[in-house]
């Protein structure tokens, strides 16, 4: 563990009200920098600490951070410094994890669709790989060299059902993920694959992300645990040595409380299957949202306000490009929004029902509908709370809006706040390049095409 980690974990917690006025004063946000993301460095480490404490009684556990929740290299490096591993699901995420400094032996590759080249690279690096299906197991059998150091597993879908949000429920009857375990003969086919391939030693299960109640997640993990025993019985010896139990601890977006906690999650596992945490299997966890969401916020400037059909609408710089799910599925992904004045201090004026809209050219680009908030005015700031995961770190490039800057913050001397640039706002030149500037003439007549 990096020496800076314990001191940060011990530091006094900071609130948005502590941070935003200083971010405004420091010029990190302003009229020409109208939206930015902020991450609470110490808060992230405290969340990691809570996760570790929840599993402290388990003899052998590797906690990996699900990179997709917040794939920024400085965040990944912080996670590595705190002793975490990393769960990745694409060639880009794998490269980010390596660049952040995770040793290959602490990286787990989980993507549902992997090319042969991606598999070969992972096997050569010694990254753990969870095959999504039995065809992928056979592919690995062909590609794997005898001296390969990758831990190899197979994802199963316990088909325990979905949670409150269909799109983040991965253990439904027809889910695209893993081997559908309750289908006729599936458990036998899985056991046969383990019998055929002595290097297959891990079972992987991830029941869902957000909206899945703890007992449902625990039921899915318990099913994988029972399967491990069945596989060993079929093989005739100890074969399954590890259980990768995924992530998916839901986050409370309604207020500041962290609920449920990682400790409650571990208790739910114990309740579903007391032997789960007894150390017979090396456990791997893959939490993302529960470590980051509540440790980040977005600040966006109110550019204009208007009235439409008797409803006040605040036009801000944070919309679907940084809170995509909230704009597209507002009932499933509500976010808390609060109002701050031009100096970054909380507004206390009388509440008014308002829509808080974003800058994109489509009507659904609204992050809060009819919300009671202090009356917003031009130059104010709105804060979108609990957006440290899957929001400004998973931006949508609709309307060619730039990815906003991201700043880390921590307590400084006295009442001060120390900021660190995690990512700069995307320069417009980069937007040009990713939209084919280098091929500007490609569709005009002339030589230089690729014959096919
Ligand atoms: C997305 C994902 C995770 C992380 O889910 P969270 O809800 O962010 O904890 C873990 N494992 C797999 C396989 C995933 O797809």
* DSSP string covering 62-123: EEEEEGGG---HHHHHHHHHTT-EEEE-SHHHHHHHHHHT--GGGEEE--SS--HHHHHHHH
* 321 in a structural domain: yes
DSSP string, 329-389: STTTS---EEEE-TTSPBP-SPEEEEEEE-SSSSTT-EEEEEEEEEPP-TT-EEEE-S-TT
Q: Are residues 319 and 206 in the same domain?
A: no
**Domain assignment present for 20:** no
The pLDDT score that the predictor gives to residue 447 is: 67
Do residue 266 and residue 340 come from a single domain?
no
pLDDT given at position 1: 77
305 φ, ψ (degrees, to nearest 5): -125, 150
Position 389 in a domain = yes
Residue 292 Cβ < 6 Å to ligand 1: no
Distances 160 to 182, 206, 245, 387 between C-alpha atoms, Å: 9, 11, 14, 29
State in Å: Cα 317 to ligand 1 middle: 28
Q: Could you list the pLDDT tens digit for every one of the 452 residues in the chain?
A: 788 888 888 888 999 999 999 999 999 999 999 999 999 999 999 999 999 999 999 999 999 999 999 999 999 999 999 999 999 999 999 999 999 999 999 999 999 999 999 999 999 999 999 999 999 999 999 999 999 999 999 999 999 988 888 888 888 899 999 999 999 999 999 999 999 999 999 999 999 888 899 999 999 999 999 999 999 999 999 999 999 999 999 999 999 999 999 999 999 999 999 999 999 999 999 999 999 999 999 999 999 999 999 999 999 999 999 999 999 999 999 999 999 999 999 999 999 999 999 999 999 999 999 999 999 999 999 999 999 999 999 999 999 999 999 999 999 988 799 999 999 999 999 999 999 999 999 999 766 678 77
Task: Tell me the residue range of the domain where 233 lies.
Answer: 41-291
pLDDT for 452: 78
Question: What CATH number is attached to the domain comprising 90?
Answer: 3.20.20.10
Q: From the CA of 290, give the closest atom in ligand 1.
A: 9
Pull the structure tokens for residue 299: 């600040």
For a ligand 1 pocket test, name from 154, 177, 249, 288 the mutation site with the most ligand atoms within 8 angstroms of its C-beta: 288
Q: Measure the CA angle with vertex 395, ends 76 and 261; round to 5°.
A: 55
Spatial neighbors of 269 by CB under 8 A, at least 6 apart, are 218, 221, 222, 245, 276, 277
Q: Is residue 380 domain-shared with residue 417, that is, in the same domain?
A: yes
Does 287 sit in the ligand 1 pocket, CB within 6 Å?
yes
Domains of the chain: total: 2
**In this structure, are 281 and 317 located in the same domain?**
no
Is there a single domain that holds both residue 135 and residue 270? Answer: yes
C-alpha of residue 112 to centroid of ligand 1, in Å: 12
Pocket test for ligand 1, best of 62, 69, 128, 164 (most atoms within 8 A of CB): 69
d(CA 446, ligand 1 centre) in Å: 47
Say what the pLDDT of residue 125 is.
98
pLDDT at 235: 97
Q: Is position 26 within any domain?
A: no
Q: Clarify whether residues 253 and 397 are in a common domain.
A: no
- My answer on whether 51 and 92 are in the same domain is yes
Q: Which of 302, 286, 276, 148 is nearest to 218 (CA)?
A: 276
Distance CA 391, CA 229 (A): 39
Do 101 and 216 have their domain in common? Answer: yes
Residues 6+ apart with CB under 8 A from 190: 134, 154, 156, 179, 181, 227, 231
> What is the rounded distance in angstroms from the CA atom of residue 73 to the CA atom of residue 96?
6
Instruction: Compute, in angstroms, the gap from residue 239 CA to the centroid of ligand 1.
Output: 26
d(CA 97, CA 89): 11
């Amino acid at each position: 563990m990096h020496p800076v980690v314990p001191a940060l974990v011990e530091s006094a917690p900071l609130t948005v009200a502590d941070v935003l006025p200083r971010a405004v004063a420091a010029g990190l946000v302003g009229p020409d920098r109208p939206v930015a993301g902020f991450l609470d460095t110490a808060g992230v480490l405290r969340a990691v600490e809570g996760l570790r404490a929840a599993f402290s009684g388990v003899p052998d556990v590797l906690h990996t951070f699900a990179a997709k929740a917040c794939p920024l290299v400085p965040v990944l490096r912080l996670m590595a410094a705190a002793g975490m591993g990393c769960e990745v699901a694409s060639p880009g995420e794998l490269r980010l994890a390596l660049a952040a400094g995770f040793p290959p032996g602490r990286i787990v590759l989980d993507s549902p669709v992997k090319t042969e080249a991606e598999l070969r690279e992972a096997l050569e690096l010694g990254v753990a790989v969870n095959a999504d299906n039995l065809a992928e197991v056979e592919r690995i059998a062909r590609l794997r060299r005898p001296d390969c150091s990758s831990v190899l597993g197979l994802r199963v879908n316990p088909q325990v059902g979905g949670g409150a949000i269909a799109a983040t429920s991965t253990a439904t009857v027809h889910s695209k993920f893993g081997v559908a375990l309750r289908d006729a003969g599936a458990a036998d086919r899985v056991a046969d694959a383990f019998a055929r391939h002595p290097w297959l030693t891990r079972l992987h299960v991830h029941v869902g992300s957000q909206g899945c109640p703890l007992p449902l997640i625990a039921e899915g993990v318990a099913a994988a645990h029972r399967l491990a025993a069945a596989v060993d019985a079929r093989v005739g010896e100890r074969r399954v040595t590890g259980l990768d139990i995924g992530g998916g601890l839901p986050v409370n977006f309604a207020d500041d409380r962290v609920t449920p906690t990682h400790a409650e999650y571990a208790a739910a596992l114990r309740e579903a299957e007391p032997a789960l945490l007894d150390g017979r299997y090396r456990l791997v966890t893959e939490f993302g949202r529960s470590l980051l969401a509540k440790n980040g916020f977005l600040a966006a400037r109110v550019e204009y306000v208007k009235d439409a059909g008797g409803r006040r609408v605040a036009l801000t710089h944070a919309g679907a490009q940084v809170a995509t799910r909230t704009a597209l599925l507002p009932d499933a992904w509500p976010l808390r929004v609060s109002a701050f004045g031009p100096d970054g201090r909380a507004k206390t004026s009388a509440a008014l029902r308002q829509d808080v809209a974003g800058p994109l050219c489509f009507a659904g680009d609204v992050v809060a509908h009819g919300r009671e908030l202090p009356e917003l005015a031009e130059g104010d700031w709105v804060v979108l709370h609990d957006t440290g995961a899957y929001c400004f770190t998973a931006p949508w490039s609709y309307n060619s809006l730039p990815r906003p800057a991201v700043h880390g913050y921590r307590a400084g001397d006295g009442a001060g706040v120390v900021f660190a640039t995690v990512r700069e706002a995307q320069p417009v030149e980069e937007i040009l390049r990713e939209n084919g500037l280098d091929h500007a003439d490609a569709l005009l007549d002339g030589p230089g095409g690729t014959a096919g």
